Amino acid sequence: LDWLNDEVINFYLQLVCQRSMDAKNLPKVYAFNTFFYASISTKGYASVKRWTRKVDIFAYDILLVPIHLSVHWCVAVIDLAERRIDYYDSLLGRNQKCLDLLKNYLIEECKDKKNQIFDFKGWQFNLRTDIPRQMNGSDCGVFLCKFAEFASRRAPIVFTQQHMPYYRRRMLYELVKKKLL
């Protein structure tokens, strides 16, 4: 089945962040750890408050939030510069709870780290359905990584399930080389 585990996903998302730091023309990207969503959704903001004590998430353009739902991976993309949160699920699941949780996280983080009230004026919140759909039970991790990689460049999502074998090989190469192509 070749499922991607949390370590592979964390490492790949760090490569996405590294590319954004190296390229002047790309948005600056921060990726949360794969355990972030599980922790905040079960234990609340207090459980993740210290995770960003050395990071100002508001200094980034895009925040990537990998989401593990027991046996399925999704990703939320918080675009601070374009004022939007997009939820990407390759099975097209609806997860309003995730959007609400991330909105609340931004409010709490802004209050805690900046002593300010986060302003959601003009923000959009989208459960994306205009995205490629997964046609098997094992590619959700690859879809997560590719959704995040495309969103980190603000590129249109133009791949399909048929691209997954190629993306698996490409990702393996990128992980070994520790650099995105």
Catalytic residues: 72, 89, 140
Q: Which of 130, 154, 13, 167 is nearest to 75 (CA)?
A: 13
Task: Report helix, strand or coil for 110.
Answer: helix
The encoded tokens of residue 41 equal 């959704």
Distance CA 45, CA 38 (A): 11
Q: Which helix (H) or strand (E) holds 130?
A: none
